[in-house]
Amino acid sequence: MKKEPPTQQNWFVYLIDSDAGLYCGITTNVNRRFSEHVSGKGAKFFRRAAPKQIVYVECCANRADASQRENQIKRLTRKQKLQLIANTQ
């Protein structure tokens, strides 16, 4: 039996706004991941304040690229993150 080559799947870096601040993460399905955060099955970050909305999404070719971009965004100041969001709208 032949193995099928793995399908290329896009990864996304996203920012979610909440009263506790901006949360940055990666996923292959942004809507599913947001639902997980809303339902309490996501990041511990949202135990302090519920997620409000997705404010930024960026597509990456693979998980490694998404992780690298996530780390870059996490190192930005809040002001720089807000500029990033504003520049995409």
Confidence tier at 89 by pLDDT (50, 70, 90): confident
CA distance 51 to 21: 9
Contact residues for 68 (Cβ-Cβ < 8 A; gap 6+): none
* 18-87 carries CATH number 3.40.1440.10: yes
CB atoms within 10 A of CB 73: 20
Q: Which helix (H) or strand (E) holds 31?
A: helix 30-39
Domain ranges of the chain: 18-87
pTM for the whole structure: 0.88
Query: What's the pLDDT tens digit per position in 6-40?
Result: 567 899 999 999 999 999 999 999 999 999 999 99
Query: What's the pLDDT tens digit per position in 53-85?
Result: 999 999 999 999 999 999 999 999 999 999 999
- The sheet with strand 21-27 has its strands ordered as 21-27, 11-18, 51-60
CA-derived radius of gyration, the chain? 15
